Amino acid sequence: MSRKPEVNAARLLASVADFAAIGATPAGGVNRQALGIEDRAARRLLAERALARGFTVFQDNIANLFIRREGRDASLPPILIGSHLDSQPTGGRFDGALGTLSAFEVLEALSDAGIETDRAVEVVAFTNEEGSRYSPGCMGSMAFAGAGTMADWEPIHATDGPQLADELAATLAALPEAALRPTGHAISAFVELHIEQGPILEQEDVPIGVVTAVQGTKWLEVVFSGVAAHAGTTPLEFRKDPMGAAAAAIASLQSAVMPADPEARLTVGRITAEPGSINVIPGSVTFTVDIRHPDAAILAAMDQHVRKECEAAGARWDCDVSVSQRVNMAPGRFSPTITGAIEGACKALGLKSRQMVSGAFHDALFINRVAPTAMIFVPCRNGISHNEAEFVTDAHMISGARVLLNVVEALG
Amino acid sequence: MSRKPEVNAARLLASVADFAAIGATPAGGVNRQALGIEDRAARRLLAERALARGFTVFQDNIANLFIRREGRDASLPPILIGSHLDSQPTGGRFDGALGTLSAFEVLEALSDAGIETDRAVEVVAFTNEEGSRYSPGCMGSMAFAGAGTMADWEPIHATDGPQLADELAATLAALPEAALRPTGHAISAFVELHIEQGPILEQEDVPIGVVTAVQGTKWLEVVFSGVAAHAGTTPLEFRKDPMGAAAAAIASLQSAVMPADPEARLTVGRITAEPGSINVIPGSVTFTVDIRHPDAAILAAMDQHVRKECEAAGARWDCDVSVSQRVNMAPGRFSPTITGAIEGACKALGLKSRQMVSGAFHDALFINRVAPTAMIFVPCRNGISHNEAEFVTDAHMISGARVLLNVVEALG
């Protein structure tokens, strides 16, 4: 005998708090980077809660974690909901975790109400969405969608040393209760709930964003090479200083690209100088450039602009320059069927919503290539994320989970 | 019975090669940073060779290493000659080592010839001249001259982790044969032989530089602080990006300071961004600025210029900025008595010489505060140093050592 399923608000909020304690930072954020000890602890906690509720737990060979609640017809491809559990080194409590835990709350709410869905419903926590320790990000969803191959990634070393193949094996071994399944099984749909990571919903006081598309992203690595020499004795005319070239290139890109196009994003998040001595002109300077745009053609033009500016700076400072592409994620347009279901859920629940384009890439961008997909955004304070100050109100968390539950009922 | 002492050229060249093997890098340079394992190995080799020749070995509490050859009158303050044995992370074979090993060759030449000097002659290898692992550099000579206190330095951590106090204790313990002596004993003079680390002597084909002064040096650390945020979702108007500020400040300093004054030097050798993720706008960017000038007033004005430029860039990018001084070495003028003795030696040996100002700071800059001091420069190829490509011809090494021996005879 079944009744109308309802999100258990207290349980959802407690669950978010429980996971925020894993890798908690003094400033109130989390450091739970992919495949590290804290990431494994979070996976274990979720798996144990799943087994306690009688759900089945699976892993695939990139350590994507799946929690399955059976439906009437096991032959139908399941509905997939969820996000990721890994975080940035100084990340927030909600990026990834909120979507994963809201999805798990949906499974529990269905069970509490004794609902039997036609299709099975599966919760997923994709591996290494952030890409902060092991680049590129979204490895789990790329592998699931056949957009990347393990062979390319296994040799990668983390910024703090370990090799991906080793930590992947250790992560899989740490969850023996989970049966191994092939990567990329058939699914009927994917819905990912996530914080907006931008300021729009909060500013317009809209609780739900219906994400119709994700902007494209390219990660470039720029290396300027000059000649390391003594800081005190080398006159200007003898210098080949890659720091001069790097600073000129970054300054010119920073002052030109974003002011010219409000939809464009350009960020230099990482920079190093070698050998890195105070009194040595660097022999080389390496930095990353993250560029994004919803329009694939404009993104390609931005890529060319970055290369031209770097070559010009290298020539001015008599340094060699190399620009290599680390990540190239094309913009994506989501399924009108799924966005329609999200808008229907908002109407049914009397929640205001607005369509929007995601400024961040997400696992949903890749899953969108193999199944009808869309995303639900909830507001975050001041649009701040990838930061320990990241914050979402209880009311917005609860509204988001209610919409996700309603969508699953509609699609199930 | 004594004869005219002569530098043993083969022995000097072999000695330089032997020490270049300690911390040798694949590219032909050395990585023998202060107080590390390789630095200790070099100190041990020199001490063992000293004891084998019947010289006495001492250390003081900052691990300055002294090798003493007695003179007729032990009550007279000794003549001090030497340099340092530590190197940059990707340093050359000659910076520091050549001056220390030429000084040791002088002791051996005096003993070979059975010369008895009135004063004792001591060779010194000063601790941590380079400052690449533990900032500031010239710790050993600063402590010797009372220009710095151990208490300030002991808590300092190396760029690769260890604390100075611990590695200092381990370095002292690794040489039990050396008697501990008080820091800063009386000396009658100090003469340091060193590579020029600049292009002038080679270009003018002059084998010996008589160094009359050392330019002043300031090391500044600049920290721009903004707000870490998501690279994809944060529009320009919401950004407080310290990378924009840092790049603008560095680019403007690089393009203004040195072109305006051929005697000025400005170098940014180290830079980091936190948290250092490709897809996160940094919360802070930290870099160093090394500025130098022979004129103290102009150096002070350069310091003010750096601070103004950084404040302006911080204001433009809505970031906080802090500029802190890490090192402040005033310009120094050497003793005419000692420079006269060096010029006399060059005349006596028929070697061309020219007076010059040192672009690099050296231990001699500090010892100059407590005793008559000067330096002997020899040419290095293309003026390149702090680089594995650093190179000095055999003929120039031999000429330098012969001048040093002649000066010691004159002062002894």
- Residue A400 · residue A81 · CB < 8 Å: no
pLDDT-based confidence at residue A412 (cuts at 50, 70, 90):
confident
Q: Which of A250, A289, A386, A390 best probes binding to B when mutated, by most B CB atoms within 10 angstroms? A: A386
With CA atoms as reference, report the closest residue to B35 among B121, B140, B152: B140
Q: B-chain residues within 8 Å CB-CB of A234?
A: 198, 265, 359, 383
pLDDT tens digits, one per residue of B52-73: 999 999 999 999 999 999 999 9
pLDDT of residue B115: 95
Beta bridge mates, A358 = A214
- Interface confidence, given as ipTM, is 0.72
- Three-class secondary structure of residue A114 per DSSP: coil
> For the domain with range A9-214+331-411, which CATH number is right: 3.30.450.20, 3.90.1170.40, 2.60.40.2550, 3.40.630.10?
3.40.630.10
Q: pLDDT digit string (tens) for B175-197?
A: 999 999 999 999 999 999 999 99
Of all residues in chain B, the percent with pLDDT exceeding 90 is 87
Structure tokens at A77: 């491809």
pLDDT of residue B1: 54
Stretch A383-392: mean pLDDT: 91
Whether residue A1 is predicted with pLDDT greater than 80 in this model: the reply is no
- pLDDT averaged over chain B? 95
Q: Using an 8 Å Cβ cutoff, are A232 and B360 in contact? A: yes
What was the pLDDT predicted at A152? 85
Q: How far is A293 from chain B (nearest CA, A)?
A: 9
Report yes or no: B66 and B59 within 8 Å, Cβ to Cβ: yes
Site from A201, A236, A277 to mutate, B interface, most B CB atoms within 10 angstroms: A277
Q: Taking CB atoms and an 8 Å limit, are A230 and B360 in contact across chains?
A: yes
Backbone angles phi, psi at B385, to 5 degrees: -145, -175
Look at residue A328 and give its three-state secondary structure: strand
- Cα torsion angle, B20, B24, B30, B35, sign: negative
CB B385 within 8 Å of CB B199: no
Q: What is the pLDDT of residue A359?
A: 86
Is residue A326 scored above 60 in pLDDT? yes
Measured between CA atoms, the residue of chain B closest to residue A263 is: B235
Query: Where exactly does CATH 3.40.630.10 map onto chain B?
Result: 9-214+331-411
- Which pLDDT score, from 0 to 100, does residue A368 have? 96
pLDDT in tens, A331-385: 999 999 999 999 999 999 999 999 998 988 899 999 999 999 999 999 999 888 8
pLDDT tens per residue across span A26-38:
999 999 999 999 9
Q: Supply the mean pLDDT for chain A.
A: 95
CATH of A216-329, one of 3.30.70.360, 1.10.730.10, 3.40.50.2020, 3.40.50.970: 3.30.70.360
User: For the ranges A203-212, A217-226, B127-136, B152-161, which has the lowest average pLDDT?
Assistant: B152-161
Tell me where in chain B the CATH 3.30.70.360 domain(s) lie. Answer: 216-329
Is B194 annotated to bind ligand? Answer: yes
Q: What is the pLDDT of residues A189-224, one digit of tens each?
A: 999 999 999 888 999 999 999 999 999 999 999 999
Instruction: Give residue for tokens 């994320």.
Output: A385
Confidence of residue A238 (pLDDT cuts 50, 70, 90): confident
Number of other CB atoms surrounding residue B263 within 10 Å: 14
Q: How far is CA A103 from CA B179, B190, B196, in A?
A: 71, 75, 68
User: What pLDDT shows up at residue B337?
Assistant: 97
Q: Please say if the pLDDT value at position A275 is more than 80.
A: yes
Instruction: Give the pLDDT band of residue B273 (cuts 50, 70, 90).
Output: very high
The residue-averaged pLDDT of B242-271 equals 96
Query: Looking at beta carbons, which residues of chain A come within 8 Å of B273?
Result: 268-271
Whether a cis peptide bond, with omega within 30° of 0, leads into B282 is no
Could you tell me the pLDDT band of residue B344, with boundaries at 50, 70 and 90?
Answer: very high
A265: closest CA of chain B, how far (Å): 6
Contact A232 B215 (CB under 8 A): yes
User: Which residues of chain B have a CB within 8 Å of the CB of A241?
Assistant: 254, 267
Distance set, CA A118 to CA A8, A66, A336, A391 (Å): 23, 19, 22, 36
Q: pTM higher than 0.90 for the full model?
A: no
DSSP A212: E
Please give the pLDDT value at position A235. Answer: 84
